[in-house]
Amino acid sequence: MEAPSVAGLLAAELRRRGVRRVFGLCGGHIQPVWDALARLGVDVVGVRHEGSAVYMAQAQADLGGGVGVALVTAGPGLTNTITALASAHLARSPVVLVTGRAPRPQSGMGALQDIPQAALVAPVCRRVETVWDRGHLLARLDAVWSAALGEEGPQGPACLEIPTDVLTEPAATVDRGPRRAAAVGRAALLPDPGAVAAAVALLGEGRRTLVVTGRGARDDPRAVEAFLDATGAGHIDTAESRGVVARDHPAQLTAMRSRAMAEAELVVTVGRRLDFQLGYGSDAVFSAGPGWLRIGRTTDELADNRRGDVTVQADAGAALWALLEAGVGHRGADTGWRDALHRASEERIAAARARAPRLTTGDGGIHPLTLLAAVEELVDAGTVVVADGGDILSFARSSLAADTWLDPGALGCLGVGVPFAVAAALTLPDRRVIAVVGDGAAGFSAMEIDTAVRHRARALVVVANNAGWNIERQDQIDRFDGNLVGVELPGCRYDLLARALGAHGERVEDAALLPGALRRGLENAPAVVDVWVSREPVSPDSRSGMAAVPELHALAPWDRAERELRARTIPPG
């Protein structure tokens, strides 16, 4: 049936492209689209803050649910999304934001919520398009859709804004033209044979090889594991790629990351930027001065901070299969180096797990590692684990195993936990969803528990409640003579908030009661289990000096190593 309005046509086109759920907050400027989507049977998830809508769209996209779509009204509706757009931008998550704007006849006259929206979001979007004429609707939608998918550059968020008066116009004169295929994926990018040959030669030198995977490795997990098996390489993942390689795979060097980076003689990056989390690829961090093979689709995966000795521009899966077909690993893999590190990693993990339930604290609070060990008992192969916060994320990153993982990512954006968990539960309703969230982080988006209740999103939110911003608190103790300013929180009862919002809520102050409370939370989700956690244990991020924001690197040891390297290699004066 012919869509009667531009809003109706837009809704129908989104549905044709596979969109079955959008996240947003209603408002007059986008009400025509909101209504049209609902009438077409698209699930419209109404959130309590527009930033949460984009977080949820990001989580859906990152969990394989296709392009995430968020729908927000003009003015503050749009400005509320900027931090979340920045998160999706750095995570390279395919998200399309649709927003209204003031009617064209009122533009520039001081209309309600009339601000330069496109200029505000442009730095954190791959593309921004405004539909000034109804005839251009589908062409502009094609442009932002393509940009979100990364068809001509990195994936990431893109924005389509439409004045409200355009939305209400009849769609009869919209230029339909040839329609974009409804498929949600992007066209394959195949490797150059010459680059493949050069990579095979580099890999054939028999050096200790370390594979570092990023978002691009999600293209084809089988190809990554096949490459590891054939080459005997060790592997470290990042939050972008956790779950691509099974956690029990013999290549995994989970607890030996720093040593692996220091000893590797050849590093292969697969769809991964060399950002602060990898020491920018510096020889101060990868201290054996390794060779580099960089595999990726875009320039930021191939040439940021340091180019490879060889680069292969292609989809990760296509590149890895091409390398295998060209002979990589045919002479048999030498796994001695990686096997020794893997054994050391497994021994370290096992020791930490054995110790966690017995840890005690002076203040009587539950040790964060004890909490995480109890959570891990409930994590099966299909569980989606979300970690959010400062202190608790730092502990969880190295001690909570999960094949499907979401966290604040490169932006370090606290507050994603509850929205990510809600979206995960809606996107993957047959799988467990457990979010471990610090009490500070919970304060950003705890009202989305109401969204979980209204939309029956069966997520368990575990709040690690130490009544403080504990990394900053520790930093003020260490560097500012214990002058504590703005780091104490009142010990809010998030379990009571959950109950007030219609969810299941429990408080736990005794570690022996944790397993039962967590299981009840899963059984009665959406649920919040508020756990009194000790603030005494010093998290890995606190120990590494991250809070001090070192000049050259994110971590103090890397910063010191970089200074020493520069002192040796840069002549004085």
Residue 513 C-beta-side C-alpha neighbours within 13 Å: 12
Tokens coding 58: 């990001």
Eight-class DSSP state of 5: S
Q: Which residues of 433-452 are buried (b: 16+ CB within 10 A; e: fewer)?
A: bbbbbbbbbbbbbbebbbbb
Cis peptide before 163 (omega within 30 of 0): no
The single residue of 472, 488, 506, 509 carrying the catalytic annotation is 472
Residue 13 C-beta-side C-alpha neighbours within 13 Å: 23
Residue located via tokens 């979100």: 148
Residue 475 C-beta-side C-alpha neighbours within 13 Å: 21
* Residue 250 DSSP SS3: coil
Beta carbons within 10 angstroms of residue 84's beta carbon: 29
Cα 148 to Cα 131: distance, rounded to the nearest angstrom:
17
User: Across the beta sheet with 310-313, what order do the strands follow?
Assistant: 234-236, 209-213, 266-270, 291-296, 310-313
CA dihedral sign of residues 143, 149, 155, 156: positive
Q: Are 436 and 531 in contact (CB under 8 A)?
A: no
* Residue 365 DSSP SS3: coil
Cα 317 to Cα 271: distance, rounded to the nearest angstrom:
10
Amino acid occupying residue 527: A
Q: Are 387 and 407 in contact (CB under 8 A)?
A: yes
Give the chain's count of helices (H) and strands (E).
Answer: 24, 17
Q: Are 210 and 259 in contact (CB under 8 A)?
A: no
Active site residue 265: no
Q: What is the CA radius of gyration of the chain?
A: 25
Of all helices (H) and strands (E), which one includes residue 138? helix 137-149
Q: Are 251 and 338 in contact (CB under 8 A)?
A: yes
Show Cβ contacts of residue 58 under 8 Å, excluding neighbours closer than 6 positions: 68, 84, 87, 88, 91, 93, 95, 157, 420, 423
Which residues are catalytic, by number? 472
